Amino acid sequence: MKRRDFLTTQAVLAGTALSMASGTTCHAQTTDPDTTNSSTSADAANGKKRRVRQSVMGWCFSDIDAPTLAKHCKRIGFEAIEGIPASSYDAVTKIGLKIALTGSHGFANGPLDPKNHAEVERKLRQGIDLAVRYGAPNVITFTGMAKKGISDASARRNCLDCWKRVLPYAEEKNIGIVLEHLNSRDDSHPMKGHPGYWGDDLHLCADLVHAMDSPKFKLLFDIYHVQIMNGDLIRNIRQYHPIVGHYHTAGNPGRGELDENQEINYPGVIRAIVATGYQGYIAQEFIPTADDPIDSLEKAFHLCDV
């Protein structure tokens, strides 16, 4: 499933499949998770520290249907899942996974442009309603792409005005809205970077969160995107942890596995997050390149289970 479809609308999500394989391969795991060797499951369970609540972004595993992916996630030890069709929520929650994050409007047509406000508000409310129904703590939002003729000052004001009209509903329903910072540098793949995205600076997004001045409006700190645009990950985590409501991972460069071929020291980064007292979800959002994406997912789980 395409992440942009997930983030654009829950309705579209229900029938969407990811159709981009440019530069990556993501082959479905053929082993039935229900018939996985029990000793392997037991060994995995015995080694879990469980100080980190981990989730999985389902769009990254497009060749695996959501219920099958959920069974693998449950076996591995993940607590939650996100980025899957809303039509699969019932199935995955029956398997025992929680929904960590619901979608709303897309990252392109955000509140930066007043022409998008009606759509943004409607889809955020829909995402909030889904979060209430399935017990998810947060719904995602974005600034949108920069637009010619809209100054930075106007973009800031437009975003805040739009979000402030939705915030009372989120507060009433006790659901958080999390603003995701995205990188605008990587133009190699439509889901590895987002050239033209206005909210590409971590400090700008943090300023927007502070301006909203609500415990129900926080930052989605995507470690991969922040590394590309701002770096200094642990210092930024320590600085902004009071306003962070969700985390995403991926290896850099390339948005691949969290392995030795990328530059982020994930055990150190995750330990820094744990040290802040963070109690929310950290979601694996890497695009697998190995022949066995479930093996990659399991390795990422254990790497971050610090």
Domain that holds residue 295: 54-304
Q: Structurally, how many domains does the chain consist of? A: 1
Token pair recorded at residue 247: 């985390």
3 in a structural domain: no
pLDDT at 26: 37
Residue 292 lies in a domain: yes
C-beta of residue 81 within 8 angstroms of C-beta of residue 54: no
In a domain, 42, yes or no: no
Q: What percent of the chain has pLDDT over 90?
A: 83
What pLDDT digit, counting tens, does each position of 262-293 carry? 999 999 999 999 999 999 999 999 999 999 99
CA-based torsion, 131, 212, 148, 229: positive or negative: negative
Indicate yes or no: pTM above 0.75: yes
CB 71 within 8 A of CB 34: yes
pLDDT given at position 50:
86
Rounded mean pLDDT, 141-157: 98
**Is 77 part of a structural domain of the chain?**
yes
Predicted local confidence at residue 121, as pLDDT: 98
pLDDT tens string 188-217: 999 999 999 999 999 999 999 999 999 999
Whole-angstrom distance between the N-terminal and C-terminal Cα of the chain?
A: 30
Look up residue 115 and give its amino acid.
K
- Evaluate whether residue 37 is within a structural domain: no
Evaluate whether residue 240 is within a structural domain: yes
Percent of the chain with pLDDT over 70: 85
Residue at 299 is within a domain: yes
Q: What residue spans of 135-251 are helical by DSSP H?
A: 152-173, 202-212, 223-229, 233-240
CATH code at position 144: 3.20.20.150
pLDDT in tens, 104-121: 999 999 999 999 999 999
- Do the domain assignments include residue 28? no
